[in-house]
Amino acid sequence: MEEKLKQHPINIVKVVLFGPESTGKTTLSKHLARYYNTVWAPEFAREYLQNKWNNERKTCKADDLLPIAIGQMKLENKLAKKADKVLICDTDLLETKVYSQEFYGGFVDDKLNEAAKINQYDLYLLTYIDTPWEEDDLRDRPEQRLEMFNAFEKALKDHNCNYILLKGNKESRLKKATKAIDEIIRKKENLHSFSDLMTE
């Protein structure tokens, strides 16, 4: 596997927000990071594709996905070192793989496919489509939200990922997510804490 797509080893709890567009992933990422007093890794694709749209008026193509995946892992690895026991990830390479399959006729770059299988996360938070659709320059397929949700859930099952489904308002989602994350934290020892490093 390409080195740039690998996770750097670090003993923290890694949580991924997973699901279709406009299902509250970024909002929940911020709330969880605040709750655990830690950092969150935003979705690199948004910055990459917004720049592409602003500069070239072009949308995502299949050959954009590998640079996006590399950018995402660079961001994740950098922020993992600044995490306080928990890193909240607004996306991961498995999500990129699902988009690749759904938007480009089943095509997935071999390097992306391998990385999506190998990189490991402690918990996936699968966000349901019971949130209002919010239009922007990058989002599309509002009429296919259920199809996309089903594709995301299938990917989690196919890869044997540990996941929970989040529905309802922000408060109920946050409560269910923190309960599951707290359980994982309790079972892990000697978690990396950026705040501990600062006080040594």
Mean pLDDT throughout 169-175? 95
Closest to 155 (Cα-Cα) out of 65, 69, 92: 92
Query: Phi, psi at residue 125, to the nearest 5°?
Result: -105, 100
Q: What is the pTM of this model?
A: 0.91
**What are 53-106's pLDDT values in tens digits?**
888 887 788 888 999 999 999 999 999 999 999 999 999 999 999 999 998 999
Measured from the Cβ of residue 165, the count of other Cβ atoms closer than 10 Å reads 15
Residues of the chain above pLDDT 90, percent: 70
Mean pLDDT throughout 116-130? 95
CB 88 within 8 A of CB 32: yes
CB 97 within 8 A of CB 5: no
pLDDT-wise least confident of 16-20, 75-79, 145-149: 145-149
Distance of CA 161 to the CA centre of its chain: 13
Measured from the Cβ of residue 20, the count of other Cβ atoms closer than 10 Å reads 28
**What are 42-62's pLDDT values in tens digits?**
999 888 888 888 888 877 888
Closest to 20 (Cα-Cα) out of 129, 167, 181: 129
Rounded to the nearest integer, the mean pLDDT of the chain is: 90
